[in-house]
Amino acid sequence: MHPPEPNCTPLTSNHHAQSLNCIKISYYIDDGWSGTNFERPGFQRMLQDIETGKVNCVLVKDLSRFGREHVMMDYYLEFLFPEKQIRFIAITDNEDTEKGLSDFVPFKNLFNEFWAKDTSRKVKAAIHAKHAAGECTATKPPFGYIKDPEHKNHIIVDEENRWVVEKMFDMAAHGAGTKRIAQVLAKEKIPTPGYTAYQRSGLYANIYRDAPPEKAYAWSISVVSDILKDETYIGNSIHNKQSTVSYKNKKRLKKAADDWFRVEGTHEPIIDADVFWQVQEQITNRRRAMKDAEPQIFAGLLKCADCGRAMAISSITAHATYRYYNCSRYRRYSRITDTCSSHSIRYDVLYYHILSRIQYWVVQAHTDEQELLQKLLSTTDQERQAVLKKQAAELKKAEKRKEDVDRRFKKLYDDWADERITEYNFKMLSQKYQAEQQEIDDKISQLRATLEKEHQNAEDAGKWINLVKQYEYPTELTAELLNTLIEKILIHEPVKNEPGFKDQEIEIFYRFVGKLD
């Protein structure tokens, strides 16, 4: 027997059971479960009682209370119940297998399933509309944020834990991996997101209630990784990362990143976007330690100049052990097909070359910052200002001309509407004005893009100089130093010139400013 809804009370159900000379065995309740799901616990308990012979009659309010999937409904009503000699009664639908089900039952089942499908569609549309409006519908906001007490579906920065998120991204930006970050957080006894939620709301009580004290600081690599990859921390909301198979099958499936629904600027960011995307780039290029536990400080930075693949490190032991890099594509496929070339370079040669270039730029930044800035901008400040001033004047002139043409076009239309000019003249002049409008729009777009680029170049140069000035003539390279200053390093194939000698080009692309040497 299936439990009735509020408008069909147990007393009413008992009355129907007594009138049919049935003895009530149990109520089978599935509150909060979809009728399209026949794996719901109450339903499965009923099937078990049927199998053991405890139940020989199922009484429901109506067909929709039994289920909302017509194929499974047909299976139970037409095959399983007759085979098990189970009587089925739907009270309000006036259906009773003892009297014979009516021919309308299949149609009723189809309509009940359609109702579930339509409801699912409407719910999804309502949720999508909330997401598009920048609302957060998650029951628990990401670590570092809390629900806005004044706006139900809005999140604000959790000032109590903001510094933890900032610390994690700062460590990652300076070359620390997820394992290292988790170890530092645990060592410093910083509570995990789960334990923080338990302290505040009692969530995850089954995990933390009787757990040892160290459980509160047991940061996992996966938790750190999820935080570092979450665009929430730059003010964006990402939805539709997962979806169900259908309204019938609630299995969750991960969706490709291209199918995610991204809404930008929905709340206050904690992390600067440049830092976030730098961390994403470093995560993509995982850094692993050598077998001797020495960290690979160049991991993720070295690329083959010809094929673009990462450079892989190896060791050779002859009279002495030394390490070298070569193209990973060459290493993997050279025996199968002719693809790329070795691009081999010794680790110590690369190390001291990069160190010398960084030392040079550090000295330049501390000696004469203004001269370095001008060098980065590839022209004198006076010349650059003159060019910018001329372009700004051209932009102002073009915008003024656009306003004049728009005004003339409007007057032309009014004259044609009032029949003060012929249609032939209107078409001829309108084509002329439209062509000029397009030409002016293109010019304005080009000038604005140029001015914005010049402005961005100056900003980026200033950012890089500030990064360089953080260091006082470094005497060794670290992953933190390299990842802070350098975006990538391209290794070219060596070129032989004299017997026993060869030249090899190394291109260094610095963050914000690109190639300088």
Q: What is the CATH number of the domain that holds 220?
A: 3.90.1750.20
Using CA of residue 270, residue 274, residue 275, residue 280, what is the dihedral sign? positive
Closest by CA position to 516, among listed 296, 362, 367: 362
Question: Which pLDDT value is given to residue 118?
Answer: 86
Residue 58 lies in a domain: yes
Question: Which pLDDT value is given to residue 16?
Answer: 65
C-alpha to C-alpha distance for 365 and 374, rounded to whole angstroms: 12
270 with 417, same domain?
no
Cross-strand bridge partners of residue 508: 489
Question: Which pLDDT value is given to residue 376?
Answer: 77
Question: Which pLDDT value is given to residue 48?
Answer: 92
Amino acid at 309: R
Task: Give the count of alpha carbons within 13 A of 107, CB side only.
Answer: 4
Q: What 3-state class would DSSP assign to 243? A: strand
Task: Give the end of a domain, one of 131, 166, 181.
Answer: 131
Question: Which pLDDT value is given to residue 5?
Answer: 41
Q: Which domain holds residue 233?
A: 154-284
Pairing of strands 87-90, 57-60: parallel
- Please say whether the beta carbons of 471 and 481 come within 8 A: yes
Question: Which pLDDT value is given to residue 131?
Answer: 82
Question: Which pLDDT value is given to residue 14?
Answer: 60
Q: Enter the tokens of residue 401.
A: 């001309």
Segments of the chain with pLDDT less than 50: 1-12, 289, 379-382
Question: Which pLDDT value is given to residue 380?
Answer: 40
245 with 299, same domain?
no
Question: Which pLDDT value is given to residue 456?
Answer: 59
471 with 409, same domain?
yes
Task: Give the end of a domain, one of 131, 165, 197.
Answer: 131
- Please say whether the beta carbons of 450 and 429 come within 8 A: no
Residues 296-320 pLDDT 10s: 788 888 999 988 888 888 877 555 5
Residue 138 lies in a domain: no
Q: What's the start-to-end Cα distance of the chain, in Å? A: 82
342 with 279, same domain?
no
Helix then strand count (H, E) for the chain reads 18, 18
198 with 270, same domain?
yes
Q: What is the pTM of this model?
A: 0.57
Question: Which pLDDT value is given to residue 4?
Answer: 39
233 with 119, same domain?
no
468 with 324, same domain?
yes
Q: Find the CATH number of the domain harbouring 78.
A: 3.40.50.1390
278 with 305, same domain?
no
Closest by CA position to 347, among listed 321, 312, 317, 323: 323
Residue 148 lies in a domain: no
Give the number of other Cβ atoms within 10 Å of residue 284's Cβ: 8
Packed helices 347-367 and 423-468: angle between N→C axes, nearest 10 degrees: 100
Closest by CA position to 447, among listed 389, 379, 380: 389
Total domains, the chain: 3
